[in-house]
Structure 1
C-alpha cells in the first residue's frame, strides 16, 4: 500500500518527506558544527530505501571524521564537473592561449592542424580526465610509422593540451603521452635528406637562370643573399634601404616577439637582380605570382625538378654555408650570423 503524503522517519535522522502520495524526497537531518542541517539524498521513488540508507551511512561516516557531508558532496560535484571537460574544448582553449606566441596569431593553422586532423576525430569527444596512454596509443598507431613527423607533432601538441587541462585544475594523467610513446615504440620511418647543390655547381646553375622571369630572378636573389624562401618571396620595395634589405621580424624563423629584424647586405649583383625584379613588381611585392599574391616555393622547386635536380631552393643556404667553411676564412660566428642563426648566449651576443 502506497504511503500517503506526510513525513516518515526511518531512524537515525533519515526521513522520507512526501508532499503528495506519488512524489517525495529523502532527507538526512544532521548536526554540523553545532548547527542543524538537512541534507537531500535524492528523489523518491527514483532513489530506493536501500540507496537512501547507503547514502545516509556515508554522510554519517564523514560527519564522524569531522567533515561536513554537504560540503564534501559539493566538492565532489565540482571535481566531476571539471572532469567533464571534453578534450576538444581543452585543445581549442590551449590553442587560443598560445596564439599570441605563434606567427600571425596561428592563422596558418600549423600548430592546430595535427590535432584537428589526427587527434580530435578520435579523442575530441572524450572527457580529458579519462584519456589514458591506451587511448593515445590507439589514436596514433595508424600514423606512427607512416607519418612519423606528423605523429610526433600531434603527440607533442596533445601533451601541451593535457598540461593546459592540469593548469585548469582538471585531474589528468600528464604521463600518458610518455607512456603512449613507450607503447608505440620507435618509429620505423627513416627520414630522407634532400641533398644540397654542391657549392662548386652553384655558379653554373646561377648563370643558367637567364630568362629574366620572376622565377629565375627569385632563384638568383635567393642564391646571392642566402635568405630563406619566405622572406625572399615576400620581399617588398620599402624593405630596401640603400644597399641593405631589412627583413621584418615576422618573416624570420623564430618565436614571435623573440626575433628581431634581420639586415641583409645587398651586393652589386644582387642590386642588379632587384632592379630587374622591379619590372615585375605588383602591389609592392617584387616577386608576384601570375595571378595573385607572391610566387610560391613550389614554383621554384618545380623549375629545379624539371631540370632533373634533386636539390631544392631552401638548400642553397646549405651550399652557402659549406662554401663559407671551405673556401673562405669566415669565422663560425660570422657564417652562422649570415644565415640568420643565433650564435652564443644572450650575454655573449650583447
Structure 2
C-alpha cells in the first residue's frame, strides 16, 4: 500500500477502517484527518488570495469520499477564480434563493478551519465558546456583510452589564473575526474596530476601607515628595518615582520613557499610551517641575547616552524593572505603591470642595505640606 502521506484517491473502505491518527491526502488538496480520539473529518487545503488556508468540510462519518471530492473540486474552481469558497451562497434544498453568510456561520467556519490547522486549537475553542455563549444570541443571525458598529456596540453593552471583562474580550475577538471577513471579501470595513464599540470600564466601587487607605496615602504624599527630593541614594530611580508622582501617568510609560520622546524646547513628552488599544500616541505637556527632573536625569545619565530617561545603573542600557519603585519606597519606609498616586489624586477630586484635577493644582497640593522635621 502506498504511504498514507502521499496524495492518492481514498476509498470508502479505507476511510471507514483507518484508525491510526494522522493526515491522509487525496486529490484537490483534500485531506482526511484522523484524531487520536478516533474522530475523522475532511479538510481541504487551498491558496486563497495568496494565503494558504485549511477549510473544514465536515465529518467523514457523514460525508463519503466521493461527496468530499466533489465539494473539493468546486472549492478549487472558486479559489482559482479568486473567490472564497465559504463566501459562496448556500442554497437551501428545493429553493434557489441564496442565503447570506451570517456571523454565526462565519465564526463556525473559522472555528473549524482553525481546528483543522492543528495549531491554536485551544484558542479556537475559547473564541468559539465566547462568541456562541455571548454574541450569537444577540447578533449571530445578522449577515456579516450588513453588521454595523451600532449593532455591535449594543450587543457589547448588553454583555457589559453582565460582565465587563467578557464584553472587552468579545470586542477583541470580533475585531479579529471581522478583520478576516474583510480579507476574505465579505465586506470592505471592520465595524467592530470603531471608537463607538469600545467597552467602558466598570464603575469603581468605593469602600470605607479603600477610602481610608486613599486618605492615608494622600496625607503622606507631600512627605514622600520631600524625601525623594532630599535623598542622595539611587538618584535615577528616585527621580523616576518623582516623575511618576508629578505626571500621574501609567508607571510603565514613565519607566520606559526614552529621550527621543522628550522635546524640552516644545515642553512635550510624546509616547505611546500603554493602556490604549493600538498604541495611540499621547502628547503630554511638561511643567517646570517635570523639566527640572528631566534635566537632573540627563546629568545623572551623562547626557542620556543609554537612551532611557531613567536608566538602570545596575544594568547599563536597560530600564528599571517593574518592581523597582515598590522596593525603593519600601526601603524609605513608606507603605505606598506607584499605582496609589492616581488613586490618591482621584480621591482628592472626589472629596475636595473645589476642582483639583489639573496637574498644576496637584503639584501645588504636594508642595504645600509643612517641612519635615529632622
| TM-score higher than 0.5 | no
Task: Provide the TM-score with structure 2 as the length reference.
Answer: 0.40
Task: Provide the TM-score with structure 1 as the length reference.
Answer: 0.42
